[in-house]
């Protein structure tokens, strides 16, 4: 970890400490900085504005109620909040009702967001370059899992591929991304 | 109990929330006792966070959050 990231995390640790002291302005500062990304991931998984807003609310209320769950040595506050939000969104999308509705829809293997993200200006050049280096099958499997909220078993079913193949593609793609992005993101 | 090698191979999938059921529970349980895998997980969570673009804050949700935290104290 470089000195820059350490400094960022010290600042974030101080913010978390203020939240633990029930300082609402600290929570608002975190909200202003990161709620856009939190909403973005919730919306990508859920495709429903009201449900995504519920996830945003749950995520920040959880930080307020349990700020000690944020451990700066394990990653940035942005990463922590996105991890919480993604987990909540996946819980919603995998709920029984949502699952049965989703399974009635025809599969849509041609639509996967990372293909769009490669060309999108919303991601940094570094991230886009890392995505371009993935094999199409790796991008597709990672995208269906992350943005579609699907388990690897569901991804395999959706693509008509063996589970082991999908598992391997996700693993190799994630390893490549981790290597490409090491030290370049927080 | 899941072996370290087996759990470590599943960490990238765990970081994507792509595991379910017993497999997910076993990785979670392994993480509680394995600092190496926890460190690996942090690395992959930074990857997934990097895939998410920033956008404008949904200010309308802030009022709901304030109402909720004031209700619970």
Label residue A172 exposed, middle or buried (CB < 10 Å: 0-12, 13-18, 19+).
middle
pTM tops 0.90, yes or no:
no
Higher pLDDT pick, A71 / A115:
A71
Tell me whether residues A27 and B69 touch, CB distance under 8 A: yes
Cα–Cα nearest to A82, from B24, B51, B60, B29? B51
Decide if the complex's ipTM is over 0.95: no
Find the mean pLDDT for residues A15-26. Answer: 94
pLDDT at residue B40 greater than cutoff 50: yes
Label residue B33 exposed, middle or buried (CB < 10 Å: 0-12, 13-18, 19+).
exposed
Nearest-Cα distance to chain A for B36, in Å, is 12
pLDDT at residue A143 greater than cutoff 70: yes
| pLDDT of amino acid A129 | 87
Residue showing tokens 């700066």: A72
Higher pLDDT pick, A100 / A24:
A24
**Scanning every residue of chain B, which has its alpha carbon at the shortest distance from the alpha carbon of A129?**
B51
What phi and psi values does residue B52 have, to the nearest 5 degrees? Answer: -100, 120
3-state secondary structure A39-67: HHHHHHHHCCHHHHHHHHHHHHHHHHHCH
| pLDDT of amino acid A73 | 85
């Amino acid at each position: 970890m470089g000195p820059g990231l350490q400094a960022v995390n010290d600042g974030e640790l101080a913010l978390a400490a203020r939240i633990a002291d029930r300082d609402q302005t600290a929570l608002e500062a975190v909200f202003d900085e990161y709620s856009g990304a939190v909403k973005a991931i919730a919306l990508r998984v859920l495709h429903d504005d009201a449900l995504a807003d519920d996830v945003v609310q749950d995520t920040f209320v959880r930080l307020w109620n349990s700020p000690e769950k944020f451990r700066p040595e394990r990653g940035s506050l942005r990463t922590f909040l996105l991890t919480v939000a993604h987990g909540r969104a996946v819980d919603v999308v995998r709920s029984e009702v949502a699952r049965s509705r989703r399974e009635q829809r025809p599969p849509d293997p041609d639509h996967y967001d990372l293909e769009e993200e490669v060309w999108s200006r919303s991601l940094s050049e570094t991230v886009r370059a890392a995505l371009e280096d993935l094999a199409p099958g790796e991008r597709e499997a990672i995208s269906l899992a992350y943005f579609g909220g699907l388990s690897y078993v569901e991804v395999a079913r959706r693509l008509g591929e063996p589970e082991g193949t999908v598992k391997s593609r996700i693993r190799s793609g994630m390893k490549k991304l981790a290597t490409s992005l090491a030290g370049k993101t927080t | 109990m899941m072996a370290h090698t087996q759990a470590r191979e599943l960490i990238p999938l765990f970081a994507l929330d792509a595991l379910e059921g017993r497999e997910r529970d076993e990785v979670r349980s392994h993480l509680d006792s394995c600092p190496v895998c926890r460190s690996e997980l942090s690395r992959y969570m930074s990857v997934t966070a990097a895939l998410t673009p920033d956008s404008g804050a949904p200010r309308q949700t802030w009022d709901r959050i304030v109402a909720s935290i004031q209700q619970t104290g």
